[in-house]
Amino acid sequence: MNERLQAVVVLGGGSAGWLVSALLAAEHPELRITVIESTDVPVIGVGEGTWPSMRDTLRRIGLSETAFVRRCQVAFKQGSRFDGWLRGDAGSAGDRYYHPFMLPVGHGDVDLAAAWQATQAGRPYADVVSPSVQICEAGRAPKQVQTPDFGAVANYAYHFDAGLFGLMLREHATGVLGVQHLVDHVEAVMPHENGDIAALRTREHGDVAGDLFIDCSGLAARLIGEHYGMPLKSEREVLFNDAALPVQVPYAQPDAPVAPCTVATAWAKGWIWDIGLPARRGVGCVFSRAHASEDEARAALQAYLDATGAPAERPAPRLIRYDPGYRQQFWVRNCVAVGLASGFIEPLEASALALVELSAQRLCAELPMSRASMDAVARRFNDDFSYRWARVIDFLKLHYLLSQRDDSAYWRDHRDPATWPERLRELLPMWRLRPPARHDFGRIDEVFPDASYQYVLYGMGFRPDTAPLSPAKLQAAQACFDEAARQVRRLVGGLPGHRSLLAHLQQTAS
């Protein structure tokens, strides 16, 4: 009971399984880690946008960023751009805003929102407080050719090919970090008499025993869902989307610009993501089956692809259905779910892989662990990750509830306060009078900080009724706005074009 946990069995060889096993192996070489994946169950094969945290994760795993960029069709992502969310006028600059990864200049020290409202309200908030918008609009990369691996001039994350990413992680985890890899199908769970999992019974390799089982089996949730029967906490009444149609399309011209941010374009009954990689785009239509038929969503996607110049010859998008929600408990006895097995809600802010990274970090931080300490570890893990999922849901809902779109019941239903999370119902009236602040978010490692809420609120046309600022405060804020403008001039002039940096990194490979 008090012996240290030694054998970890990871069920699933998708991005979640390989990220968790690689990080565990890199930071706890004393563990015996086995990843089991089935050729009968393909990986989901989407999930190509990340958060800046992925830079730290890859560094901790021991991967070189240059090698990663060369292998995985990587592009740099500096945030997200939202088109058509406010009024449904996706082509107009007035219905476009950014949620950049860079914090506003002076964030936390100066009352930027009130000063912006008083002196610059005619310009978009993100544009006034940060250089990011102009860097993205100019199609610039977030770093120089000579910037070291994982270093940034402007904060960035990645877009990549999910299939190539999984392969690279697998090679690194098995070849460098000593993770065992079993290609086999798990047919049954062998329980211990105390209710733990003793082993997974595979079709060809017999029973694989372990001390801790990490369920990374995707939407099937073979261990946490099927074996332990842990239900999902449904979020369907808050975030209605429950289906996606992803497709990969080539550029019309091979040297077309590569977007330095994810573009999320709203349509009448959902939204469409557009992720630019060096050689192709990953595009997908997210929609609510209660509000739109599959045919309507396919038509919206095709119209978007036509409008954005995708070649007429296109593969047919495949339909992915999911139940929006997360497990009531992620960790039960000696089994913890990570990745899609733990839950899934729409990929609007690419939070799924970030939650995988956070789960992996947490597991690393809790080790060494014994079976005797595991129940307490599990309780804390369940509390913390329930909190995180709830905050992700708050933040995603914020993108919808301020929309003025009236072109379908989908948007009207999103505006109905009955569909808002309790916390947002409480906070929004406060934010009418003062900006979101650090104390609104209780933890130091919040998934979305107050700065993110400000970008979305003000991007969506929310105008706080703030108290007048003293001349000294206005002056301090103006100094930050001036600094952001100076950074625009310096960085837009000094940073290379996004495609040109990517081409340089590829060329030095050969």
Q: Which residues bind ligand FAD (CB under 6 A)?
A: 11-17, 36-38, 41, 43-44, 46-50, 185-186, 216-218, 220, 222, 244, 246, 284, 320, 322, 339-341, 347, 350, 352-353
Min CB(132)–ligand FAD separation in Å: 19
Nearer to ligand FAD, 142 or 347 (CB): 347
Type of residue numbered 427: L
Min CB(181)–ligand FAD separation in Å: 11
- Which of 274, 272, 271, 283 has its CA nearest to residue 315? 283
Q: Across-strand partners of 320? A: 244
Nearer to ligand FAD, 26 or 189 (CB): 189
Min CB(165)–ligand FAD separation in Å: 9
- Which of 488, 389, 473 has its CA nearest to residue 138? 488
Length of the chain in terms of residues written: 510
Min CB(41)–ligand FAD separation in Å: 4
- Which of 48, 55, 149, 36 has its CA nearest to residue 508? 149
Nearer to ligand FAD, 47 or 131 (CB): 47
Q: Which two tokens stand for residue 244?
A: 């996606």
Nearer to ligand FAD, 391 or 488 (CB): 391
CA distances to 60, 118, 213 from 464, in Å: 41, 10, 48
Min CB(203)–ligand FAD separation in Å: 9
DSSP 401-432: HT----SSHHHHHHH-GGGS-HHHHHHHHHHH
Q: Which two tokens stand for residue 274?
A: 């557009």
Min CB(218)–ligand FAD separation in Å: 3
Min CB(505)–ligand FAD separation in Å: 22
Nearer to ligand FAD, 69 or 354 (CB): 354
Q: Which two tokens stand for residue 385?
A: 């990750």
Type of residue numbered 71: R
Min CB(344)–ligand FAD separation in Å: 6
Nearer to ligand FAD, 14 or 260 (CB): 14
Nearer to ligand FAD, 106 or 339 (CB): 339
Phi, psi of 248 (to 5 degrees): -115, 130
CA distances to 277, 347, 414 from 256, in Å: 11, 25, 36
Yes or no: say if 274 and 326 are a contact pair by the CB < 8 Å rule. no
Nearer to ligand FAD, 38 or 334 (CB): 38
- Residue 462's contacts (CB-CB under 8 Å, 6 or more residues apart) are 402, 431
